[in-house]
Amino acid sequence: MDKIRIIGGTPLVGSIPISGAKNAALPLMAACLLTDETLTLSNMPYLADIITMANLLAQHGVHLSMSDQTRGPNGLSLGRILSLNAANVNNLTAPYDLVRTMRASVLVLGPLLARYGAARVSLPGGCAIGTRPIDLHLKALEQMGAEIELVDGYIHAKVENRLKGADITFEKVSVGATENILMAAALAEGTTTLRNAAREPEVCDLAYCLQAMGAKISGIGCDEIIIEGVPALHGCQYSVVPDRIEAGSFAAAAAITGGDVELIGITMDIMQSVAEKFEEAGVSITETPRGLRVRRSAERIRGVDIMTQPYPGFPTDMQAQMMALLSVAEDASMVTETIFENRYMHVPELMRMNAKIIVHGSSAMIRGVPELKGAEVMATDLRASVSLVIAALAAVGETVIHRVYHLDRGYERLEEKLVRCGAQIERITSAKQPLRFEAA
């Protein structure tokens, strides 16, 4: 398995292009199942999770083709272009082997059921950060007339004729359930109202793409979304929103090293709650013509209190990175995780690097230390892994991070982007196959 070796202590200086958001790209890919015309997605990141979704769609019978990296007139990367055509879907089963490696696979359920009247999708099971049920997805589909049975670890869903519009109130804000039902409702008969819907920029991105495909949706970005079902959708071209979590991760890396970095392609509007906490911690984030500039304005990071919340609150996907940053603050911080029950896997690893953190239930108290120290540590999930990279970039001495395949799920060319800003980071590769796009 690959490892990453980092020698800490060099301030990051330079510019970093921000890729398209993984969490927007995955549902957008699933949306291709809603039409027999071609959906063309640009600004696509090239990541292990994207390849998993491509392989899942390919085994349903979707035809996919992906371009090489594209560049704009100024030489900046515009990501890749992915074309998806679901005119010849011949298999309605999402198998366990693919779903268990990536929970977002469950996003094929709504579109398959809406367009073909049936789907068989493996139950995703738990993951490193919690039990993560999908009851909200299933309950909403049942309200729309689907018959759902759980058989041998699979969800068997079917509907006579079309799904029917319904008035759905989610008990909890769920990104995935909102996305699944948005897609299902786009092709349902009649009007669907989603209350307590997720408002994340990635959910909005999906809704805007569905609109471009001919869906009738109002209330995008609000917690009440109204979808008037249409009999068919068409193809379109759509560009994936930039990755606010990747941008926030690099902002934390710039801040912890006392650097000065321009994050190219990201905008302040989707970074507000994160930018506010950085400002409180003594890190200035300002708009530039190309993106955002991040630099430390205080001598030392200041302690801040953070509570994760659905958007527009502070994202759970930035919690671990912020904790790495706060571990070198001049005073104490309190972090409270309200979205997932087991999202402190990075804490014991950060403690191996001299961080002083105490976890009590869903809260963690971080007492800042003057410096972190390099150590051998283990990546446990995607955001936990990048928090270790951030800590290592500031730590005294050498850090070796094991199990970095987690990073490849969500960070495109991470080492290359950091090296361009002066970081001393290298991948120690084991004899493993490189990432490969297998679809036809």
How buried is residue 28: exposed, middle or buried, by Cβ count under 10 Å (0-12/13-18/19+)?
A: buried
Instruction: Kindly write out the interface string for residues 17-56 of this chain, putting x where it contacts ligand UD1 by CB under 6 A and - elsewhere.
Output: ------x--x------------------------------
Give how many residues touch ligand UD1 by CB under 6 A: 21
Distances (CA, A) of 335 to 317, 318, 322, 332, 359: 13, 11, 9, 10, 9
Distances (CA, A) of 70 to 14, 79, 111, 169, 379: 21, 6, 29, 41, 31
Min dist. Cβ of residue 386 to ligand UD1 (A)? 12
Residue 99 touches ligand UD1, criterion: CB under 6 A? no
Residue 271 touches ligand UD1, criterion: CB under 6 A? no
Distances (CA, A) of 305 to 65, 239, 245, 333: 45, 35, 19, 5
Min dist. Cβ of residue 332 to ligand UD1 (A)? 26
Residue 136 touches ligand UD1, criterion: CB under 6 A? yes
Q: Which of 104, 119, 252, 266 binds ligand UD1 (CB under 6 A)?
A: 104
Q: Label residues 314-347 b or e (16+ Cβ within 10 Å = b).
A: bbbbbbbbbbbbbbbbeeebebbbbbbeebbbbb
Residue 133 touches ligand UD1, criterion: CB under 6 A? yes
Question: Which one of the spans 125-133, 282-290, 361-369, 417-425 is the region binding ligand UD1 (CB under 6 A)?
Answer: 125-133
Q: Which residues pair with 376 in a beta bridge?
A: 400
- Active-site annotation holder among 127, 209, 236, 421: 127
Q: Please say which residue, 205 or 262, places its beta carbon nearer to ligand UD1.
A: 205
Q: Is there a contact between 41 and 28 (Cβ–Cβ < 8 Å)?
A: yes
Q: Which of 175, 209, 292, 304 binds ligand UD1 (CB under 6 A)?
A: 175
Residue 100 touches ligand UD1, criterion: CB under 6 A? no
d(CA 414, CA 435): 14
Residue 127 known to be catalytic: yes
Residue 406 touches ligand UD1, criterion: CB under 6 A? no
Active site residues: 127
Binding site residues, ligand UD1, CB under 6 A: 23, 26, 103-104, 130, 132-137, 172, 174-177, 202, 316-317, 339-340
